[in-house]
Every structure is written in structure tokens, then in C-alpha cells.
Structure 1
Amino acid sequence: MFSYSAVAEKSLQTCRYLAIIAAIAAPMSTAVTSVACVLMILTWLVAGQVWQGLKLSAAQPAGKMLLLFFAWLIIGSLYAETSWAEKITTLTSWKKLVYTFVLFGVFYQTPWKKRFVEFYLAVMAFGAVIAIPLWLLDIPIKGRGEAGIFMTNHSSQSMAFVVAALCCIFLLKEASLQKKRVLLGLLALFLLNVFFISPSRSGYLALPVAAVFAFINLYGYKKIPHILGVTTLALALVLLTSSTLQQRIRLGVEEITHYQTSEKVTSMGVRVVFYQNAWELIQNKPLLGYGTSSFKSVYSAHVAPKYRDWRGEPATDPHNQFLFVWVENGLIGLLLFLAYIFTAVRQGAALQPYGAIAASVLVAIAASSLFNSNFKTFPEGNLLAFFVGCLLAQQSTHEAKTDRA
């Protein structure tokens, strides 16, 4: 006999599995992630718990801040001097945070959080093992460039392993001796990939910053001197032994030093130009900004008459998430964005271990977003959205009483 409640329950379970698939696929496959996201939303709708889920999401501190930030993005689109097509494109680029909000009301059960992390670690461990022979044998994958890189790009692969390493750090504390050995082995595997195989400078920054946050969260503020000391020694050791890291840092310093005389665009040089001109734009309209979707038009108009080389080329993003928000949505938008990050980190830090994992991932992405717009990029943005949405979700008192597996 047909039972809608049974269909709804199956749909909700399918929705959760699709969220796990989307998170795992985010740094590896745009197509798989996109399909998983669409199916996740559809099964969420079929489950018939949309209103209850949204109320649960909105009741959480991070959910409230997301709603405020979304509201300001929409308001910003109303005064932006751009076409509606451009406004809609920019608003939809923030849809990853919509997934986070939806998942706040879906992933509140601890067994599902555990399942999420276990599946993610299993796949990333397999990926980390694959990367090693590719790197040792100097075998580049077509379209990826560097040897050992098989995901979307070196930045997304590095961030995927940064997230996996953070999972290991939090799970170590409560694990049995046997599981500790496994987790330590996995942690070493992920660290090898981040610091020795990947040329991603974002990973070099994100992991130490997030690891310091993680250890402070685990062992308390009184241990900060010890944590900073150990982290500094570990980074010094890595710097002395990793030729990949040395080369990337040396190249970055060279690009920054010679960006004014360089005849071609360089990764770090163009960022310096972006930051300088974005700051000039901010000084003209600091409070409200130029409106959601405005960055490309206002930046291009600003630099075109100013330069006669690559520095005068148009850009859609300053490669700094915080400057991007400030240019488009003003100081008000930036403060709301920072308030969301602060609130989510605070909410997660109180929920060991899974909420704290989400908080540390958010700290990692926020650190890397000083040099990228990783909240909006497809691989990192979706990875962040699903980790925060799935692992930060809180269960209301009512849901706790009526919890269903």
C-alpha cells in the first residue's frame, strides 16, 4: 500500500546522500556536483519538509546571518547600474550559500554527520594515494598541468586535502588507539599532498591557519604559545624540505617585486594591481558600494584610462573575497559577511567534533579568500557550502524528541 510518509523519508535520506556526493565531487567534477545539487534540491522538495527545514535553518545563528547577508545582496542589486541579466548572474553565483542554508535544516542528525565525514575521508584517502605515483613519475594529467594534480586544478585539490587533514585532526582526540594510527597515517598522507605535491599557495596558507584554530579549539587558549611554537617549527621543517613550496614562494615574491615592470600578467602581480584599484574604488563609495554585480563594469571603467598594458584589462573579480564584497556591497555588506563567518565559526566551535570541523573549514577558506574569491568559486565554494551546511546544522529541542534515523 502506498505511503507518502515512507516516500518522504526515502527522499530525505536520498537528499542527504546526494549532499555527501556533491561535497566529495566538488573539487573533482563540475558535472557530477551540478547534477547532485539539482537532485538534492528535488528530493528535498519531494520529502515534504521544506517549511519545517527552513524554519530550523532560520532558527540557527548562522542561518539568521545568512538571511541578512542574502537580503543585503538583493538590496544591492537594486541600486547597481548593471543589466538584470548581470544582477541575476551575480546573485546566482552566491547560490552555494543557499545550499548551506537548506542543509542546516536537513543534516541535524549526528549519525549523518559521521557518515558524511567517513565517506569524504575514504574518497580523499584514495585520491591522495593516487596523486603520489603521478607526482613521483612526473605524469601530468591532460588539462591539469602539474604532475600529481588530477582534480579540477591544483588549488581545488590542495583545498580538498586541507579539509581532509582538518577532519583527521578533530577525530584524533576521541579515537581508539587503532583508529588513531589510521588517522595519523591519513593525516601524513594529506600533508604530503598539500605541502610537497601541490603548488597551491592557498593551501600553504589555509592549512596552518585552520590547524592553529583547530588545536586552540581542542586544547584551549592557555595552550596558544605551545600551539604556535609547534606550528612554527613544523612550517620551518616543511619549508626546508619541500622544494615545491620553496619554488612557489620564491616565484610569488619575484612576481610581487617586479609586477610594475613585468610585460606579462603574473599570478601575484595581477593581484597587487587588483587590490590597489579595488581599494581606490572603495574609497569613492565605502558605505554602500556600487551594488551587486557592479564589479566588472566599475573596475574596467576605472583601469582602462589609467594603464596602457595588461594592468588596464577588465576583470570580474579582484581575487580577494572581502574586497569583492566591499566594492559591490559596501562596508555594510562586508560587515554582514564577516558577521556570518564569525557567527558560523562560533556556532561550530561549540559542537565537537563535527561542528568544529565545519568551523575550521570555514576558517581555512576565509584565509585562502584573502587571495581568491573562494566563497564563490565552484570547487572551493561548494566544498565549503556542504561542509558548513552538513556539519554545522543544529537540532532543535522538538526535533531531538522526534528524531528519525
Structure 2
Amino acid sequence: MSPLTPNIMNARVAIASFAAASAGLSIALISLSKLFLMIAVVVVWLWSTQKFAENVSLKNLWTPRLILVILAVFAGSLLWTTAPQDQAMEAIGKYGKFLVIPALLLLIRCRQEALLVLAIFLGFQVISLLSSWLLFFHLPVVWASGKHAKELFAVFATYLDQSIMSAVVAALFWHLKSLAPNRTLFYLAIAMSLLALGSVFVVFVGRTGQLVGLAMISLAVFWALPRRFRLAAVAVPPLIALLAYGVGAIPQRFLTAESEASAFLEKPAAVTSTGVRLYFWKSSIEAMAQNPLTGSGAGSWTTEYNRVERSKNHNFEALKAASNPHQEFFLWGVQLGVVGILLLLAFLGAVMKDFLKMDTAIARAGQSVLAALVVSCLFNSSLYDAHIGSFFCISLGVLLAFGNHGGTTPKQ
């Protein structure tokens, strides 16, 4: 064994831990952690290709393979994209965050390392969670860098992103509590889960986060029921929604969405949060109809949206900067057509398949993250977004690494 190998191992775990800690923090730290991850993978791979290959077992996982296929298709779409070169490259760069998942799988070699990285990930989520509650009670949080931290209580991200992250964290603590080494930590995990869930419905006003929270509760109830009663779980989401409807600002937020949707039906150009989404989705479907099979290429959503709208109104004020339809499936459909939507569904299916092979606690935690991602993508371009997209990729990478490397010992 080379005398430098232990140092490389320590640096490898430290960089994976830094990436786990950065989830949900500032964009600068997230970007720096991703850069370190990519450098670490290259360095470790070049240092000892044979030992690296021996220590890493990815042959049974579908997720890394789908990620490589997805990035290859996005890169290949540069051949036919209608977007300006800078917007096309920016889009590919945004989906480059997918590489975080295989990078974490490659750098984390055993259960002990995975447990350390997972603990660091959850520990920093607790810091963000407690900081949001402090802001909610108007107590000073000097490290809060969110644009509207004092008004909307989001420490580093937007209130929308942090409400979704809090819902995910609630599910993680709930399903991973069985990994706690003692009863104190077991009950502490339950407390953190309830505190995170409370922040979704009391502290934050993000409607998508509240929908994700309802999905997390529904899944937890579904799995808690005996198998013979699980069919009755279909009644759980509406019942929980009715209970949650009387909490905080939830009724007003959803009544606002209803009124905004009604305003859109009367005047499609109505400028409201819901109205803008519906208008973008309508235009996305029209753009997809023009290139249904392979789409218009990476980064083409803004170009195609402007083209569709200009064909209906020559005085239309075009979007100048790269934008998105606030819906991940439509975004992939415009860029890569039916192929893109199928690729996104295949990615979700691959992650699900990989988690189903793992122990119950990690499988349920991972499936909860995946469900949260699906709900979030229905109302936002979550994988495209730098902040929440990175959070989801890091979460999935850490959980897959823990499940994949559980019970193994690193070779020296």
C-alpha cells in the first residue's frame, strides 16, 4: 500500500462530507463542493485505477448508468438545439449536477464512511431547521444569507426551496430513526422530524413544500399500516389535507391559488404565480407539438417560448434571459421531446429500483426523497434549479451510497 493512500482516503471522505454539508447552504458553497467532488473523483481514479475499481461496486446500480445516458443525450442535442450557444451550454451545465450522485457513490467506500457522511448531511439540515425557527421567533441568526430571511425565515435558500427541503428532512429523520445507536438519539430523530414538518406548515408559506409535506406524511402512514389495510391508505392524503387546511396560512395560500387559476381561465395572460405557471405550461405544450420526438435541444425552452408567443403576437415582449416553465417534465419535453420525458421517467424508475434492493429504513427514506422530487417537479423545474436541484442530487447520492456500501469494509 502506498504511504499516501490513507491521506487520499481521508481527503476523499472529507470532500464527500463537505458536499453533504453544503446541501441547502449558499450557492457558492454548493458550487465549490461540486467542483471538489469532480476533482476528487478524477484524482482518486488516476491515483490507483485498479484498487479504485476493486473498492467500488456500482455494477448492480441503474442510477449511474441512466445519468450518463441523460447527460450524453443532452450533449448530443447541441447538434440540433435552437438555443443560443451560451444558453445551451448553461442548460447542460445545470444538469451536470446529476454527476454528484455517481461521484458520492464512487468516493464513499464503506458503511462507516457512509454513516459519517449521512450524519454530517443530517446535522447541517438540523442547523438550517433550527435557524428557520429562530428567525420565525424573530431571534438573530447572523449566518442567515437568504434574500428574505427576516420576512420569510429561509436561512440560505428561498422559502419555496427550504419548505421542500424541510419536508424531505422530516421524512429522512422519521425513516432513519431506526439507525440511531441509542434511545436518546431515536427520540431526538422523532423530535427533529416533527419540528421539520411543523416548519413546513407553520413557518414557511411555500405551497409546493406543503404538498410535499402531505406526500411525506401519506407515505409514512401507508408504510406504518399492516399490509391488509394499505388499500385504505388512499384516503390518507385527503384526510391529512383537511386537517392541515386549518393550520397557519395554508387555507389562504390555496384559496389564492384557486382564485389565480380562475383568473387565468378568464384572462390567460394574468400575471400571478399560478397564472404564469399555467401560461408557461400551455406554451410548452405548443412548443413540444412542433418537435414531439427529439425536442428543440438543450437550453431551448426560452427560445421556443418566445417563438410560440411571437407567432401569436408580434408585439410580444420576449424573454431575454434563460428561463424555464416551472415544471420539470415540460422542460425536458421542450428540450428533448418524448425522448426527454421518457429519460426523466427512466431516471426516476432507476432510482426507485436501486432503493428497493436496500434495507427497509434506507429504502423508505430514499423513496420518500424520490416522491418529494416528483411532486416538486410537477410545479417547479426542480432538477434544473441550482439550489433545490443540488439538494435532491446530494440527498439521493448520500442515501444510495449508504445503502450500496452498507456492511462492507474498505480495502487497504
TM bracket, shorter-chain basis: 0.7 to 0.9
The equivalent of 1:388 in structure 2 is 396
Greater shift, 170-179 or 185-194, is seen at 170-179
Conserved 8 A contact 2:21-2:124: no
TM-aligned CA distance change 1:289 to 1:147, over 3 Å = closer
Conserved 8 A contact 1:170-1:218: no
Match of 1:304 among 277, 301, 310: 310
Residue 378 of structure 1 aligns with an amino acid whose one-letter code is: A
Instruction: Tell me the CA shift for residue 395 of structure 1.
Output: 7.9
Greater shift, 258-267 or 13-22, is seen at 258-267
Q: Quick one: distance in 2 between partners of 1:292 and 1:100?
A: 21
1:369 counterpart SS class: helix
TM-aligned CA distance change 1:282 to 1:49, over 3 Å = farther
Conserved 8 A contact 2:373-2:382: yes
Conserved 8 A contact 1:82-1:293: yes
Match of 2:357 among 340, 350, 373: 350
Task: List gaps (5 residues or longer) in structure 2.
Answer: none
Match of 2:160 among 133, 142, 155: 155
1:169 aligns with 2:166: no
Match of 1:265 among 266, 271, 293: 271
Residue 345 of structure 2 aligns with an amino acid whose one-letter code is: L
Write out per-residue CA displacement over residues 215-266 of structure 1, whole angstroms, 9 at most, x where no aligned residue. Answer: 54566754423544444433322211x2311121111111111134387621
Q: Quick one: distance in 1 between partners of 2:192 and 2:409?
A: 37
TM-aligned CA distance change 1:191 to 1:257, over 3 Å = same
Conserved 8 A contact 1:11-1:44: no
Greater shift, 362-371 or 254-263, is seen at 254-263
The equivalent of 2:21 in structure 1 is 21
Instruction: Tell me the CA shift for residue 316 of structure 1.
Output: 2.1
TM-aligned CA distance change 1:50 to 1:276, over 3 Å = farther
1:201 aligns with 2:207: yes
Instruction: Tell me the CA shift for residue 127 of structure 1.
Output: 2.9
Q: Quick one: distance in 2 between partners of 1:217 and 1:339?
A: 24
Instruction: Tell me the CA shift for residue 17 of structure 1.
Output: 1.7
Instruction: Tell me the CA shift for residue 155 of structure 1.
Output: 1.2
The equivalent of 1:120 in structure 2 is 121
Q: Quick one: distance in 2 between partners of 1:202 and 1:129?
A: 21
Conserved 8 A contact 2:17-2:121: no
Alignment of 1:84-123 (within 5 A): 84-123=85-124
Q: Quick one: distance in 2 between partners of 1:216 and 1:239?
A: 21
1:30 aligns with 2:38: no
Match of 1:256 among 261, 272, 278: 261
Q: Quick one: distance in 2 between partners of 1:204 and 1:394?
A: 28
Task: List gaps (5 residues or longer) in structure 1.
Answer: none
Conserved 8 A contact 1:117-1:167: no
Q: Quick one: distance in 1 between partners of 2:139 and 2:125?
A: 21
Instruction: Tell me the CA shift for residue 117 of structure 1.
Output: 3.2
Greater shift, 350-359 or 181-190, is seen at 350-359
Conserved 8 A contact 1:197-1:244: no
Instruction: Tell me the CA shift for residue 173 of structure 1.
Output: 4.6
Conserved 8 A contact 1:120-1:164: no
Q: Quick one: distance in 2 between partners of 1:232 and 1:204?
A: 13
Match of 2:371 among 363, 370, 381: 363
1:332 counterpart SS class: helix
Q: Quick one: distance in 2 between partners of 1:184 and 1:396?
A: 25
Instruction: Tell me the CA shift for residue 358 of structure 1.
Output: 2.6
**Identical amino acids, percent of aligned pairs:** 19
The equivalent of 2:5 in structure 1 is 5
TM-aligned CA distance change 1:76 to 1:192, over 3 Å = same
1:336 aligns with 2:343: yes
TM-aligned CA distance change 1:222 to 1:326, over 3 Å = farther
Q: Quick one: distance in 1 between partners of 2:211 and 2:403?
A: 33
Q: Quick one: distance in 2 between partners of 1:272 and 1:33?
A: 31
Conserved 8 A contact 2:109-2:409: no
TM-aligned CA distance change 1:329 to 1:228, over 3 Å = same
TM-aligned CA distance change 1:395 to 1:203, over 3 Å = closer
1:279 aligns with 2:280: no
Instruction: Tell me the CA shift for residue 349 of structure 1.
Output: 2.9
Match of 1:143 among 127, 147, 157: 147
Residue 316 of structure 1 aligns with an amino acid whose one-letter code is: S
Instruction: Tell me the CA shift for residue 32 of structure 1.
Output: 1.4
Conserved 8 A contact 1:74-1:91: yes
Conserved 8 A contact 2:173-2:192: yes
Match of 1:191 among 182, 185, 197: 197
Instruction: Tell me the CA shift for residue 326 of structure 1.
Output: 0.8
TM-aligned CA distance change 1:148 to 1:83, over 3 Å = closer
Greater shift, 165-174 or 301-310, is seen at 301-310
Residue 19 of structure 2 aligns with an amino acid whose one-letter code is: A
Instruction: Tell me the CA shift for residue 185 of structure 1.
Output: 1.5
Instruction: Tell me the CA shift for residue 94 of structure 1.
Output: 0.3
Write out per-residue CA displacement over residues 45-84 of structure 1, whole angstroms, 9 at most, x where no aligned residue. Answer: 3333568469844652111222222222122221113343
Conserved 8 A contact 2:294-2:338: yes
Conserved 8 A contact 1:365-1:380: no
Q: Quick one: distance in 2 between partners of 1:219 and 1:127?
A: 32
2:245 counterpart SS class: helix
Conserved 8 A contact 1:158-1:203: yes
Conserved 8 A contact 1:104-1:392: yes
Instruction: Tell me the CA shift for residue 319 of structure 1.
Output: 0.7
Conserved 8 A contact 1:58-1:64: no
TM-aligned CA distance change 1:57 to 1:292, over 3 Å = farther
The equivalent of 1:235 in structure 2 is 241
- If the length of structure 1 is used for normalisation, what is the TM-score? 0.87
Instruction: Tell me the CA shift for residue 365 of structure 1.
Output: 1.4
